[in-house]
Amino acid sequence: MKLAALAFLSWAAALAVVPAADPGAKPQEPPVVDPGPVGGPPSDAIVLFDGKDLSQWRGERSAEPRWQLGDGCMETRPGGGIFTKQEFTNCQLHVEWASPSVVKGDGQGRGNSGVYLQGRYEIQVLDCYNNKTYPNGQCGAFYLHNAPLVNVCRKPGEWQSYDIIFHAPRQTPEGKVTPGSFTVLHNGVLIQDHIPVGGEPTTAAPLQGMAEKGPLYLQDHGNPVRFRNVWIRPLE
Ligand code: MG
For residue 117, what is the domain's CATH number? 2.60.120.560
Ligand 1 midpoint to CA 219 (Å): 6
**Domain limits for position 74:** 44-234
How many angstroms is it from 124 CA to the middle of ligand 1? 5
Q: pLDDT at residue 121 above 70?
A: yes
Q: For residue 54, what pLDDT band results from cuts at 50, 70 and 90?
A: very high
> What is the 8-class DSSP label of residue 152?
-
Amino acid at 34: D
DSSP-based three-state secondary structure for 120: coil
Distance of CA 157 to the CA centre of its chain: 22
3-state secondary structure of 9: helix
- Which pLDDT value is given to residue 15? 44
Which residues contact residue 7 at a Cβ distance below 8 angstroms, ignoring those fewer than 6 apart?
A: none
pLDDT at residue 20, rounded to an integer: 59
Q: Is residue 24 part of a domain?
A: no
Whole-number Å distance, alpha carbon 33 to ligand 1 midpoint, is 33
3-class secondary structure, 47: strand
DSSP character at residue 194: E
Q: What is the pLDDT of residues 69-112, one digit of tens each?
A: 999 999 999 989 999 999 999 999 999 999 999 988 999 999 99
Distance from Cα 228 to the centre of ligand 1, integer Å: 17
Q: Ligand 1 mean position to 141 CA, how many Å?
A: 10
Taking the centre of ligand 1 as the mean of its atom positions, its distance from the CA of residue 105, in whole angstroms, is 14
pLDDT in tens, 177-230: 999 999 999 999 999 999 999 989 998 899 999 999 999 999 999 999 999 999
Question: How far does residue 133's CA lie from ligand 1's centre (Å)?
Answer: 12
- Is 225 contained in some domain? yes
Number of domains in the chain: 1
Alpha-carbon distance 62 to 141, whole Å?
A: 29
Domain annotation covers residue 162 = yes
Determine, yes or no, domain membership for 54.
yes
Is there a domain that residue 6 lies in? no
pLDDT surpasses 60 at 18: no
Within a domain: 39: no
The Cα 169–Cα 213 span in angstroms is 10
Provide the H-helix boundaries in the chain. 3-17
Lowest mean pLDDT among 17-31, 98-112, 123-137: 17-31
Distance from residue 38's CA to the centre of ligand 1 (Å): 27
Q: What is the 3-state secondary structure (H, E, C) of 57-108?
A: EEECCCCCCCCEEECCEEECCCCCCEEEEEEECCEEEEEEEECCCCCCCCHH
Q: How far is the CA of 211 from the centre of ligand 1 (A)?
A: 22
Ligand 1 centroid to Cα of residue 90, in Å, is: 21
In a domain, 19, yes or no: no
Q: How far is the CA of 6 from the centre of ligand 1 (A)?
A: 50
Is residue 27 assigned to a domain? no
3-state helix, strand, coil in the chain (%, to 5): 10, 35, 55
